[in-house]
A and B are shown apart, each in its own frame.
Chain A
Amino acid sequence: MSAIIILLFASISVAALFLGAFLWSVKSGQYDDEMSPPIRMLFDHKPAETKEETNI
């Protein structure tokens, strides 16, 4: 019986962790702009970085 209760609380706290993560992501504005992040992650910043080095 006690094993079930321990498992129960474990499962609810894991779920609560995900709820927390979801709330954080909403509050930090991750759902405000759904279009640019998927484009941004594909950028190859290489040409820009090499330029920076030559600047220095």
Chain B
Amino acid sequence: MSSTAVHQQLTCFHCGEDCANDKIMLEQKVFCCDGCKMVFQLLNQNGLCEYYNLNEKPGISQRQPIRRDKFAFLEDPKMQDKLVHFRDNTQTHITFYLPQVHCSSCLYLLENLHHIEPGVISSKVNFTSKEVTLVFDENQISLRETAELLTSIGYEPYISLNDLKNEKPRIKRSMIIQLGVAGFCFSNIMLLSFPEYLGLADADMGLQSVFRNLSFALALPVFFYSAIPFYTSGWKGLKHKFLNIDAPIALAIIVTFGRSVYEVLSGTGSGYFDSMTGIVFFMLVGRVLQDKTYQQLSFERDYTSYFPIAVTVVKDNKEIPTALPDIKTGDTLLIHSEELIPADGILTRGKALIDYSFVTGESIPVSKEMGEIIYAGGKQTGANIELLVIKEVAQSYLTSLWAGDQFKKSSETKSISFVHLLSRYFTLILFSIATIAAIYWSFHDSTKVWNVITAVLIVACPCALLLSNTFTNGNILRILGRNKFYLRNAQVIEDIAHIDHFVFDKTGTITTTKEQEVVYEGVKLSWMQERAIAALAAQSNHPLSKAISSFYKSPEQLPEVTSFIETAGKGTEAVVHGQLISLGSKSYITGSNEKYNPVTQVWLAIEKEPVGYFSIRNHYREAVAPLLKALGNKYKISVISGDNAAEQQNLVKLLGNDATLLFNQQPAQKLQYIQQLQQGGAKVMMIGDGLNDAGALKQSQVGIALTEDSNNFTPASDAILEASQLSKFMKLLWLCKANKKIVMAAFVLSILYNIVGISFAVQGMLSPMVAAILMPVSSLSILLVTFGSSNLSARLMKL
């Protein structure tokens, strides 16, 4: 019984993380660290413990303390002007982005900030975009203090260089308003049209003109306002000498409206206002569904979203926070631990241990000595360092990656949907039918010519194609989004369907950086020795050390470590159980000068005698092996890595000999490789995870950013896929391919309607009644077909 009590893991009351012991306690609640305890104390004092009732353990771990003067730059008035959006004597308004926001407790706490700090007048959370808008009184609390207040309760505002450029894209509401107006007008016109279709008694003929004129009035806002997107898009296409699907649709809308106005004013008929408004309404619904974007995701991030907004410049022994664009060559920067290096520079002080995974994909930090050049984009993992700037931020190696041509590629050069090409043929055929019919009738009964031409144009506009396309796309996007595969827009579905070459990044994409595989080779170790090694490894924060300590993880207490010495970038040693144990690089342990080391190894020595080594490699994601096999049967695959060739044999085993494997690839080389493939006619999909893949992601036809958690930052890409869904990738691919077939099927159905409609129209027999019924019926049946078949495909695939 007692043994179960011992093994029961204690979790922090605040953040739910494992607690090493129960030493940190308050009011019978255990905390993992003092930071968490302090947050609880603060909330408890201010009566905000409802925070813990709404969700279990909702807090954000406070284990990593935030540097004290991190937000010192917020005291700079120039910086404040850029960030604050309203300010007068009593009120200041600011919006912070808080990536930590995740549950209703967060919302509760952030909107009750005024109970903790009276200087805050009000706070409002936008949950979807993870932003909080604060209104506060600057006489009572400064901007810096508000940022620090948020940080102190676990919500550290994320302020990046990108915030300086500002001008956030505003949410487009015009389409929704146009849709609302069209819906209102359409439903009322329908109501007004029915009496006439059903036949009015002679006595009620007076009503007829009222109904007609009212319909006319209601059609005006639809024609002049709701249909604007179709006119502008069609006109834009024509200006670029490209006949897109919106041009014939705009033409049909105008012709229908013109003919209806003529009929009503001349008293010859009731017009087709109901059909016109109906079709505009349905097409707008389709557009809105298709263009539904994921507000919480960004597909446009460049390096500025990753860079801090300010760094500390050391001048005359004083530390001055400086905005990034103001950094000049020759400045000395103080880089704190875990801070990103924003400009290329020479190390002038301290030992640097730079994690370049961000830029190169190389997962193991590199150590740099004084006088060596450090490139922007690396993250300092050791203690504080100082460096002398040799290139300004805008000219550094990393930012120059974004200056390449592929980042200036406009959206117009992107692929064109087959829908537009199809609608072109459609329009051509349509015009020839209209012309032939017109010539025929001009010989037989010239009064009917205009009637016939307009009837053909009205009935046969490619709105059915547009409808089937937008509704299918919208529904497929929704299904993919449900499976945590988020696409930038609907065109990406079609692009994915055409891919024939898949390029994977290695580190972080097919391997996970979260877990590592450790294999020990050498003299057999006793249990006591293993415990001693675990104890030593637990002392260091180096990622390899951490990997070894978790390799020997066990619930028992670790033995005591004395006279611990860490040589940064080389290794560690200490006395455990009276034995001197050392862990470190091969040269540190054995003294050999061998430079080339294909596998990441940590050597072990006991009493200065080398006994063996640990080889540490990245852990392959479980889903990867079956996925690569399935893809390899049908398509070409390449794996491209910034890492060394240590994994070559494992990858060959996974991929077979046909796949291309490239190692030690710089970001620019990755991009060039994609370009090469494209020049060879391949349609390339790049799947990557980091900033080092950004160029390749952008260059490829479809760039997919893989992420552990969609709340994380991803580089600019066409789609974002959560790593846990990688096993479903083949199914998602299949669904994207099914998309086109569904659109085509719905389109064929609509052509059948059109043939029926046109055959009546060319004979001059199409009564407004038939046209009025045919149009909504064909639209609705197309909606049913597209929705039904895309949902059915998803269900077949178990998505």
Contact = CB atoms under 8 A, between A and B. Distances in A.
Interface of A: 1, 4-5, 8, 11-12, 15-16, 18-19, 22-23, 26-27, 31-36, 39-40, 42-45, 47-48, 50-52
A36 B126 contact: yes
A27 B173 contact: yes
B204 A51 contact: no
B579 interface: no
A40 B177 contact: no
A40 B210 contact: no
B47 A51 contact: yes
A48 B112 contact: yes
A47 B50 contact: yes
A47 B129 CA distance: 28
Contact of A36 (B107, B115, B171, B188): B107
A35 B171 CA distance: 16
Given A26-B176, A36-B107, A47-B47, A15 B126 contact: no
B50 A44 contact: yes
A19 B180 contact: yes
A47 to B, nearest CB: 5
B207 interface: yes
A50 B184 contact: no
Given A15-B188, A26-B177, A36-B107, A47 B128 contact: no
A19 B181 contact: yes
Contact of B207 (A1, A11, A22, A23): A1
B104 interface: yes
A11 B187 CA distance: 12
21 contacts: A4-B207, A15-B184, A16-B184, A22-B180, A23-B177, A26-B173, A27-B173, A27-B177, A31-B173, A32-B128, A33-B127, A34-B128, A35-B128, A39-B127, A45-B112, A47-B48, A48-B50, A50-B47, A51-B46, A51-B115, A52-B115
Contact of B47 (A16, A32, A48): A48
Interface string B161-204: 00000000001010011001100100110011000000000001
Contacts of A27: 173, 177
Nearest to A31: B176
Contacts of B416: none
B49 interface: yes
Given A12-B214, A36-B107, A44-B50, 12 more contacts: A1-B206, A4-B207, A8-B214, A19-B180, A23-B177, A32-B171, A33-B126, A43-B50, A47-B50, A48-B46, A51-B47, A52-B115
A15 B214 CA distance: 14
Interface string B126-156: 1111000000000000000000000000000
B188 A35 contact: no
Contacts of B177: 23, 26-27
B125 interface: yes
A13 B210 CA distance: 16
Contacts of A36: 107, 125-128
B126 A32 contact: yes
A19 B126 contact: no
Nearest to B191: A11
Contacts of A5: 207, 210
B431 interface: no
A22 B187 CA distance: 15
A49 B188 CA distance: 49
Contacts of A35: 127-128
At the interface, is chain A mostly helix, strand, loop or mixed?
helix
Interface string B21-50: 000000000000000000000000011111
A12 B188 CA distance: 7
A11 B180 CA distance: 17
A4 B104 CA distance: 52
B74 to A, nearest CB: 26
A6 B188 CA distance: 15
A5 B204 CA distance: 11
B111 interface: yes
Contacts of B127: 33, 35-36, 39
Contacts of B107: 36, 39-40
Contacts of A42: 104
Interface in B86-115: 104, 107-108, 111-112, 115
Interface of B: 46-50, 104, 107-108, 111-112, 115, 125-129, 171, 173, 176-177, 180-181, 184, 187-188, 191-192, 204, 206-207, 210, 214
Most buried by B among A8, A18, A43, A48: A48
Contacts of B108: 43
A19 B179 CA distance: 11
Contacts of A33: 126-129
B126 to A, nearest CB: 5
B438 to A, nearest CB: 39
Contacts of B181: 19, 23
Contacts of A18: 184
A8 B210 CA distance: 10
B48 A48 contact: yes
Contacts of B210: 5, 8
A16 B127 CA distance: 32
A23 B180 contact: yes
A52 B126 CA distance: 25
3 shortest A-B CB distances, which residue pairs?
Answer: A51-B47, A36-B127, A35-B127
Contacts of B204: 1
A19 B184 contact: yes
Nearest to B51: A47
Nearest to A22: B180
Contacts of B187: 15
Nearest to A36: B127
Contacts of B214: 8, 12
Nearest to A40: B107
Nearest to B173: A26
Contacts of A51: 46-47, 115
Contacts of B173: 26-27, 31
Contacts of B125: 36
Contacts of A8: 192, 210, 214
Contacts of B46: 48, 51
A45 B173 CA distance: 33
Identify which of A27, A31, A34, A39 gathers the most chain B CB atoms within 10 Å of its CB.
A39
A3 B187 CA distance: 21
A44 to B, nearest CB: 7
A47 B206 contact: no
Nearest to A37: B127
Contacts of A12: 188, 214
A38 to B, nearest CB: 9
A48 B206 CA distance: 66
A45 B288 CA distance: 37
Given A15-B184, A26-B173, A40 B111 contact: yes
Contacts of B128: 32-36
Contacts of A44: 50
A47 B177 CA distance: 41
Contacts of B47: 47-48, 50-51
Nearest to B183: A19
A17 B314 CA distance: 63
A15 B189 CA distance: 12
A16 to B, nearest CB: 7
A26 B184 contact: no
Contacts of A19: 180-181, 184
Contacts of A11: 191
B219 to A, nearest CB: 14
Nearest to A35: B127
A34 B176 CA distance: 15
